[in-house]
Amino acid sequence: MGTYKRKNIQKHGILFLILSFLLAISYLLTKQRVASFVSEKPVITGLIIFTFLTSLFFVVSIAIRYKRLLSELKHTELLASDVREEKYTFANDINTKTPVIDSINRAIINVAESKKNQLSQLCQRTEQLNEMNTELNDAYMQLESSYGQLEAVMDQLNESEKRYHSLVVNIPDIVLSLDSSGNITYANRACREILKFRRHDIVGKPFQYIIHPSANEKFDLVNLKQNIEKNGNHHIHIPLCKKDGSLILTEIKFTEAIESPEMNFIQAIIRDVTEQKRIEKVMVETNARLKIINSLNHKLASTTEQSDIYRLCVNSITKEMGFLGCMYLGADKNDRHYKIMDHSGEYFRQPGKLEQFYNIRCSSTLFTGKNSEGIVLERDMLFQYFSLSEANPNQEAGFSKAFIQELRSYGEMDGMLIVLSKSSFIQEEIDALRSIGHSTAVAVEKTTHLIESKNNFVKTIDALVAAIEARDQYTRGHSQRVSALAVKIAYRFGMSKQQVEELRIAGILHDIGKVGISDSILLKKGSLTNDEYEEIKKHPGISNKILHSIGLSERILKAVAFHHEHFDGGGYPFGLTNESLGYEPQIIAVADAFDAMTSLRPYKKPMSWQMAVYELERCKGSQFHPDIVDVMVKMLMEENPI
Ligand SMILES: [Fe+2]
């Protein structure tokens, strides 16, 4: 605006100089040519000329201004055109010499700028709208895709629901739903098949309705809910009641129903385990019987006394298997009647019951064909078949069935097992009894064989020892006496039957090695030389060589081989001490020494038992075991009271 005013002042200055110049010229012209008029009326003339020139100046000035105005309007038109065609740039110079035009231009530019701004905002808004439209399109596509997926999921859910429903309906277990009060709200098909209840029989009724009366106290709804809340489920084993009142054993799993987040419903899956429990019971009972048979077999294997075998057999059947009575009858070839070898059980504790079986005749007709493995008889049949006499049948703790098994040995009838039962025998019990009968018969057969072998062995040993002792009249009977003394000492020590028997044999055999010593040394009446004594000292070793191969026990072999060893290690042939000797050799040693001292020898007279006791006491703790000497002395004092 400052520039515009300065230019305007310059233009008016120029116009004032031109007007002054024209006024001067008008003055000169007036003075020269129109001198007359001017001379006459110089003022008027001057005014006319001034007016004329002034008008001329304004006309020229207006013409110039008009032309400039047109030019600026033209520029304004171009500006408007540029604005209209959106070619205008704000870098263009919009300044004009005409304020109005300048104002118009600025207004146009302002409008243009406003329009441009609006256009820019519009474009920006359009762009935003386009972006939103794109997003909306994407969202729509996603929605369409999600809807497709939702439809697929819904299809799957429908399919799963069908399967679940089919599963629940057809599952062999009973499925029940209970409401929060424990009332049954749903029951599947298995409920009718297992419990025989139709749905309308139990739906709406409390769960206790199907629990067997004997187990009502086992079901507690409050406890059930607490357990489900705490653990997610609750298991119980409880008997249920069928529609006809009979009982089935069940295993029930209670869980919170899936559609019941607030535990308004409980789901119960009930499995009939009656058969499973029955099988388990049978297995437990079978296992128990197998344990009894196994235990009996172990005991029978380590028993050599037939009386113990009979006792083990009848006790296993009554005390461990729980039968009312058991009797083991033995057959004797020389007797037509069975002999009662042993019996056990409540039945035979009643007066007169054992006597019923005293005179059973041996007969094999009962055990032919399918009965060869044993037969079950009714009580009356048993009495009739064996001609048993009735003994107060109304007062007895009676039996209703009897299992009878023939026992054979070496292919011949050897005995009979009778088992009495209050109730029927089940097959598993019969099988167990047969097994026990067979095991017992085998054990009896084995011990019979053992007894025969033992008797033959003893006879052989006796003959052998007698042959040795026949060489020397002075030692005749020495081995038998040593054996008898050793047995007495062993009994005093409380040794087992087996140990006593072993000591009896060891006593007889202790000097059997002297068979390898020449008569010139063994029967020499004078003193022995050192070499001869060394030869004598070989007899325990020779005994061991002779006996080692005939299968005698380790204790017998040790007792024979070490009977000249001393308590303190001063004996022969090895110089062993008490720690490694054990009792058996030292018992033989004491008995041997006592008999030798109290017997006649070619080189000495027999010593009195008191002197022998003195010698034993003197050598106690060195040659002899103190405890054995004490027992021996005490025994002699008792047998020879003063
Ligand atoms: Fe000896």
Q: Please give the distance, rounded to the nearest whole angstrom, from the Cα atom of residue 416 to the centre of ligand 1.
A: 49
Q: Please give the distance, rounded to the nearest whole angstrom, from the Cα atom of residue 479 to the centre of ligand 1.
A: 9
Q: Please give the distance, rounded to the nearest whole angstrom, from the Cα atom of residue 456 to the centre of ligand 1.
A: 25
Q: Please give the distance, rounded to the nearest whole angstrom, from the Cα atom of residue 637 to the centre of ligand 1.
A: 25
> How many C-beta atoms surround the C-beta of residue 125 within 10 A?
11
Q: Please give the distance, rounded to the nearest whole angstrom, from the Cα atom of residue 598 to the centre of ligand 1.
A: 15
Task: Provide the β-strand partners of residue 206.
Answer: 183
Q: Which two tokens stand for residue 294?
A: 């196994």
Question: Is residue 573 reached through a cis peptide bond, with omega within 30 degrees of 0 on the bond before it?
Answer: yes
Q: Please give the distance, rounded to the nearest whole angstrom, from the Cα atom of residue 453 to the centre of ligand 1.
A: 27
Same CATH fold assignment for domains 171-272 and 286-451: yes
What pLDDT sits at residue 34? 61
Q: Please give the distance, rounded to the nearest whole angstrom, from the Cα atom of residue 3 to the centre of ligand 1.
A: 163
**Alpha-carbon gap, residue 81 to 74, rounded angstroms:** 10
Q: Please give the distance, rounded to the nearest whole angstrom, from the Cα atom of residue 537 to the centre of ligand 1.
A: 8
Instruction: Please compute, for residue 292, the number of CA atoms within 13 A of its CA located in the half-sphere on the CB side.
Output: 26
| CB-based neighbours (< 5 A) of ligand 1, an ion | 511
**DSSP one-letter code for 361:** B
Q: What kind of fold does domain 471-639 have according to CATH?
A: Hypothetical protein af1432 (1.10.3210)
What pLDDT sits at residue 526? 80
**Cα torsion for 188, 193, 196, 201, to the nearest 10°?**
20
First-residue to last-residue Cα distance in the chain = 171
Q: Which two tokens stand for residue 269?
A: 């899956």
What pLDDT sits at residue 3? 46
What pLDDT sits at residue 396? 56
**Domain 286-451, second-level architecture:** 2-Layer Sandwich (3.30)
Q: Please give the distance, rounded to the nearest whole angstrom, from the Cα atom of residue 540 to the centre of ligand 1.
A: 7
**Alpha-carbon gap, residue 638 to 492, rounded angstroms:** 12
pLDDT along the chain (642 residues), means of 10: 52 73 70 66 79 85 85 82 73 69 81 82 90 90 88 86 75 87 88 90 91 88 88 90 91 79 74 90 90 93 88 94 93 82 92 84 69 83 80 66 87 87 92 92 88 80 78 80 95 92 92 88 85 93 86 90 96 94 96 93 85 96 96 92 70
What pLDDT sits at residue 393? 55
Residue 608's Cβ-count burial label (10 Å; 0-12, 13-18, 19+) is exposed
Top-level class of domain 171-272: alpha beta
Residue ranges of domains in the chain: 1-166, 171-272, 286-451, 471-639
What pLDDT sits at residue 422? 92
Q: Please give the distance, rounded to the nearest whole angstrom, from the Cα atom of residue 511 to the centre of ligand 1.
A: 5
Q: Residue with structure tokens 């605006």?
A: 1
**Alpha-carbon gap, residue 165 to 265, rounded angstroms:** 17
